[in-house]
Amino acid sequence: MSSGKFLTYIASHLNRDEAEISSIVASCSFKNVKKGSYLLQANEHCNHGFFVETGLLRQYSIDKKGKEHTISFVPEDWFVTDRDSVFFNRPSKYFIQAQEDSQVVLIDQNYEKLMSEKIPNFAEFNNRLLHNHISQLQERIDLLLGATAKERYLHFIKMYPDILLRVPQTMVASYLGITPEGLSRVRKDLALKNFKK
């Protein structure tokens, strides 16, 4: 099975040629997952990272009141894991589910160690990933604290126009922290405003 994208991704971000990386990547496994199936479920220990070659994943939690909260959408060429669970070896609070039929690379828990030992600039690259993650989480907090539902929706459209078309609105709503009905209202409102101008 081909690992085109993942190999290319890693090699280019580490400034190495693919040959040099391929032995390490070879230690990762591949998986085809059907829409609706799970790569991780709450209370399990997460011991992989997941790189999406094709398809789309969704990471979400279910709170005490039984409501779903979408943490992230993960399309091709993106990576997802529960860093909290992996790093601290705690049970995960999250589900990672295939939103479309997908092909993913399973990256083993000790991949980071392996890479750090073999590839000098891996640590720096991984550091960049962590900092990106922090930036993105912080921005989301800022939006939740300071922006209305409509503003958050507009921000989402701008950031992830492609995702918008690939998932049901009910899931976008659960990402934004509003109900599907709420989102429907926001959309109607925007449509009216644009029409009137």
Partner DNA sequence: ATAGTTTCTTAACATAGATCAATGCACAAC
Partner DNA sequence: GTTGTGCATTGATCTATGTTAAGAAACTAT
141 makes contact, choosing from DNA, its own copies, none, with CB < 5 to 8 Å by partner type, with its own copies
Q: Is 140 in the site for DNA (CB under 7 A)?
A: no
181 makes contact, choosing from DNA, its own copies, none, with CB < 5 to 8 Å by partner type, with DNA
Q: Is 155 in the site for DNA (CB under 7 A)?
A: no
CA distance 115 to 149: 42
CA distance 131 to 143: 18
Q: State the residue for tokens 């391929």.
A: 22
Using CB under 8 A as the binding rule, the residues of this chain from 114 to 153 that contact its own copies are 123, 127-128, 130-131, 133-135, 137-138, 140-142, 144-147
* H-type alpha helices, the chain: 4-13, 18-25, 83-88, 111-118, 122-146, 149-159, 161-164, 169-176, 180-196
Q: Is 41 in the site for its own copies (CB under 8 A)?
A: no
Q: How far is the CB of 137 from DNA (least distance, A)?
A: 20
Cβ closer to DNA: 46 or 176?
176
Q: How far is the CB of 146 from its own copies (least distance, A)?
A: 4
Helix (H) or strand (E) holding 28: none
Q: Which residues make Cβ contacts (< 8 Å) with residue 31, sequence separation at least 6? A: 39, 103, 104, 105, 106
Q: Is 179 in the site for DNA (CB under 7 A)?
A: yes
At CA 173, angle to CA 168 and CA 179, rounded to 5? Answer: 115
Binding site for its own copies (CB under 8 A): 61, 63-65, 67, 69, 71, 83-84, 87-88, 93, 123, 127-128, 130-131, 133-135, 137-138, 140-142, 144-147, 177
